[in-house]
C-alpha cells in the first residue's frame, strides 16, 4: 500500500502504485495515475487527468495538471497531462494540462525542472530537457530532447526548440530554434552552435559533428534564404541522422502553417566598429 501521510487528501479514484510516498498536505485529485517509486513532498498537488510514470520526484508546492491558462478553455472538457519516468520537479514548478477535448500536455523521461519553471497547455517537453529557474514554455510549444533552457528563458507559444539547444539566461524566442545551436540573451538571437554540448554528446561521432557544422554554415553563414539553404542541404546526400535532423527541422519550419508559421530564429550579426 502507498505510504500516504495522514494530512494528505487523495481522491478515492486515484490510482497509486504500492510504493508511492505522499507527504503532508498533498492533494491528489480524481482520475490521476501515479507510477512506482514516485515521491511527493509536502503541499504538492496533482490535478485530475494527470498520469505519471515511475520514479518521479515532486518537491514542495509543485502543481501538475492545473487548468490551462487559456481563455478558450472549457472546464467541462477532459484533457490530460502525461508524464514519463525519472523526472524531477523542484519547488513551485507548474505544468498545465491541455486545452481541447482529449488533447494532452506531454513530458518525457529524465527531465529536470528547477524552481518555478513552467510549461503551458499542449506543450511537449522531450527526454532529458533541463528547465532552469523561472524558465517558461508557452502553450503548444515543443522543446526537443536534451535542450537546456537557462534561467528566465521564455519560449513563445507555438514555437519549436530543437534537440540539444543551449540558451543563455534571459533569452527568449518567438521563432523556431534549430537543433544544436546556442540561443543568446535577448530575443530571437542565435549566436552559433552549442559546441560544448556537441563535444559532450557521446552519441555523436566526429563526422556527425562535422556534418552538423556544415548544415549550420549553409543555413546561417552562406547568406542564403532559408529555402535556398534547404536546397543546398538536400544536396548533401551523405549526411547521417544528426545532420539530417537539422535539415528536417528546417524543412518542417518552411512547411509550417499558421499558427506555427513563425520562421527560423536568425543569427546575430557582428557589429562593425567605426
| pLDDT tens readout for residues 169-214 | 999 999 999 999 999 878 999 999 999 999 999 999 999 999 999 9
pLDDT in tens, 108-157: 999 999 999 999 999 999 999 999 999 999 999 999 999 999 999 999 99
User: What cell numbers appear for 150 in the block?
Assistant: 537557462
Give me the pLDDT at residue 272, please: 52
Supply the pTM of this predicted model.
0.95
* Residue 2 confidence class, pLDDT cut points 50, 70, 90: confident
pLDDT of residue 271 exceeding 60, the answer is: no
Domains and CATH numbers, the chain: 3-140 (2.160.10.10), 199-255 (no CATH)
Distance CA 175, CA 184 (A): 13
At 215-270, the pLDDT tens digits run 999 999 999 999 999 999 999 999 999 999 999 999 999 999 999 999 999 998 76
Task: Kindly report the three-state secondary structure assignment for every residue of 5-60.
Answer: CCCCEECCCCEECCCCEECCCCEECCCCEECCCCEECCCCEECCCEEECCCCEECC
Q: Which residues on neighbouring strands pair with residue 4, listed in sequence order? A: 22
- In order of 71, 98, 120, 232, the CA distances from 80 in angstroms are 17, 6, 12, 41
Burial label for 241, CB within 10 Å (0-12, 13-18, 19+), is exposed
What are the two backbone dihedrals, phi and then psi, of residue 196, each rounded to the nearest 5 degrees?
Answer: -65, -45
Specify the pLDDT at position 270. Answer: 63
- Specify the higher pLDDT residue, 83 or 75: 83
Helix (H) or strand (E) holding 217: helix 206-220
Q: How far apart are CA 195 and CA 269, in angstroms?
A: 19
Write down the pLDDT at residue 184.
85
Q: Tell me, what's the pLDDT at 1?
A: 74
Give the pLDDT confidence score for residue 185 in this predicted structure: 79
Amino acid at each position: 500500500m502507498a505510504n500516504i501521510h495522514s494530512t494528505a487528501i487523495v481522491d478515492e479514484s486515484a490510482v497509486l502504485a504500492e510504493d508511492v510516498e505522499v507527504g503532508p498536505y498533498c492533494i491528489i485529485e480524481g482520475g490521476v495515475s501515479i507510477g512506482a517509486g514516485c515521491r511527493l513532498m509536502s503541499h504538492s498537488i496533482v490535478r485530475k487527468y494527470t498520469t505519471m510514470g515511475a520514479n518521479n520526484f515532486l518537491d514542495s508546492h509543485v502543481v501538475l495538471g492545473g487548468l490551462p491558462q487559456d481563455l478558450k478553455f472549457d472546464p467541462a472538457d477532459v484533457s490530460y497531462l502525461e508524464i514519463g519516468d525519472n523526472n524531477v520537479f523542484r519547488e513551485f514548478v507548474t505544468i498545465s494540462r491541455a486545452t481541447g477535448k482529449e488533447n494532452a500536455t506531454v513530458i518525457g523521461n529524465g527531465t529536470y525542472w528547477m524552481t518555478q519553471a513552467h510549461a503551458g497547455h499542449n506543450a511537449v517537453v522531450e527526454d532529458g530537457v533541463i528547465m532552469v529557474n523561472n524558465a517558461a514554455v508557452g502553450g503548444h510549444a515543443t522543446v526537443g530532447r536534451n535542450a537546456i533552457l537557462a534561467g528566465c528563458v521564455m519560449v513563445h507559444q507555438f514555437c519549436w526548440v530543437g534537440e540539444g539547444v543551449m540558451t543563455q539566461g534571459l533569452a527568449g524566442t518567438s521563432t523556431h530554434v534549430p537543433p544544436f545551436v546556442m540561443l543568446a540573451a535577448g530575443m530571437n538571437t542565435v549566436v552559433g552552435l552549442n559546441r560544448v554540448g556537441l563535444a559532450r554528446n557521446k552519441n555523436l561521432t566526429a563526422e556527425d559533428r562535422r556534418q552538423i557544422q556544415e548544415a549550420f554554415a549553409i543555413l546561417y553563414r552562406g547568406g542564403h534564404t532559408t529555402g535556398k539553404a534547404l536546397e543546398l542541404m538536400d544536396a548533401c546526400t551523405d549526411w547521417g541522422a544528426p545532420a539530417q535532423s537539422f535539415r528536417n527541422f528546417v524543412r518542417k519550419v518552411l512547411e509550417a502553417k499558421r499558427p506555427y508559421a513563425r520562421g527560423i530564429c536568425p543569427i546575430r550579426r557582428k557589429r562593425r566598429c567605426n
